[in-house]
Amino acid sequence: MAKKLESTLRNMFLSLTLISLVMSAALTFVYLKTKGPIELAARQNEINAIRQVSPDFDSDPLTTPREVDGVTIYTVKKNNETAGFAVKTYSDKGFSGHIELMAGFRTDGTINNITVLQHKETPGLGTKMAEPKFITQFLDKNPGSFKINVKKDGGQVDAITAATISSRAFCDALLRAYNALDAVDSTTNMP
């Protein structure tokens, strides 16, 4: 028969130390095994979002991103000519806080397309900001001449019914994208 370990402070400390070392090794192993696939999936998601909002391109936009005040700007090229820009932007003014968008701009500054990447807005209300009915009012508009504010605030955007705060956050994120792009790249010919 195996002798039972005596319950002393020393034995408890050694047992807990051994358990901690084994668990740390297991967590390290899992982290190292999943790190590569997670990074690859995140890269693919970023490229898919860029492809969804940008004009057609044949370059790798992730090679030369530019960052301005927390906004990431990707230049997309077709046949080595700038075709447009994808801008990953955000606003912390949503009803439930942080929202993220990917906005695509043509070289003349007009909006090509927009997709909502992340939000925690109210289901059935604020979540409507991701629907085409709301997004289409921005397409083919140039924020330099189209007032990207909700109509209640003197702008030209129809807010989502019962979700004005979410609509304002969407406009805030889109303006943040336009302003960052305008600040870093004078070749966009934006007014």
pLDDT at 185: 59
pLDDT at 23: 96
Q: What is the pLDDT of residues 119-138, one digit of tens each?
A: 988 888 888 899 999 999 99
Return the SS3 of 45: helix
H-only helix segments in the chain:
9-53, 132-135, 164-184
Q: Which pLDDT band holds residue 7 (cuts at 50, 70, 90)?
A: confident
Q: Which pLDDT band holds residue 175 (cuts at 50, 70, 90)?
A: very high
Model-wide pTM > 0.95: no
Evaluate if residue 190 carries a pLDDT over 50. no
pLDDT at 127: 85
Q: What are the residues whose beta carbons fall under 8 Å from the beta carbon of 50, sequence distance 6 or more?
A: 61, 62, 74, 76, 86, 102, 104
- Phi and psi of 100, rounded to 5°? -130, 140
Beta bridge partners of 101: 89, 116
Range 56-71 average pLDDT: 88
Q: What is the pLDDT of residues 131-159, one digit of tens each?
A: 999 999 999 999 989 999 999 999 899 98
